[in-house]
Amino acid sequence: MRLLQLFRHPKDLRDLAPDEVWALQASPQTVLIDVRTLREYRSGHIPGAVFLPMGHEAEIMRRWKPSTPIVLVCKTGHRSQAVAAVLIQKGYRSVSHLKGGMDAYKRAGYPVSHEDGE
């Protein structure tokens, strides 16, 4: 995949607002994946988010089927968009991301966790 394509919004990627992600984080059918660095993740993440940093897309594909609803999260929405592009290219059909990332989520006042993830 070309580098510039990573920064384009994939056609099939759904943007979610912080309130939509907060509502989905409790859903057992939806997998919330934080693709930031470990340091960023430990600084505060959405409760229940799985830590799998950008570059570990193969691990996502090993663990979850292409039909699994996946919500990706990063700091501002750029890395999650890039990871989504890879997953969509590999046939994942239900991929969303937190538009504006954790910055938008924190500005909206939603709680964060400092517990270690998977």
Answer for the pair 34, 74: CB distance below 8 angstroms, yes or no: yes
Domain boundaries, the chain: 3-107
Tell me which fold the domain 3-107 belongs to.
Oxidized Rhodanese; domain 1 (3.40.250)
pLDDT tens for each residue of 26-84: 889 999 999 999 999 999 999 999 999 999 999 999 999 999 999 999 999 999 999 99
The predicted structure's pLDDT at residue 115: 75
Greater model confidence, 118 or 113: 113
> Is the pTM for the entire model greater than 0.85?
yes
Q: What is the DSSP string of 41-69?
A: HHT-B-TT-EE--TT-HHHHHHHS-TTS-
In terms of phi and psi (left: phi > 0; alpha: psi -120 to 50; beta: otherwise), the region of 53 is: beta
**What end-to-end distance do the CA atoms of the chain give, in Å?**
28
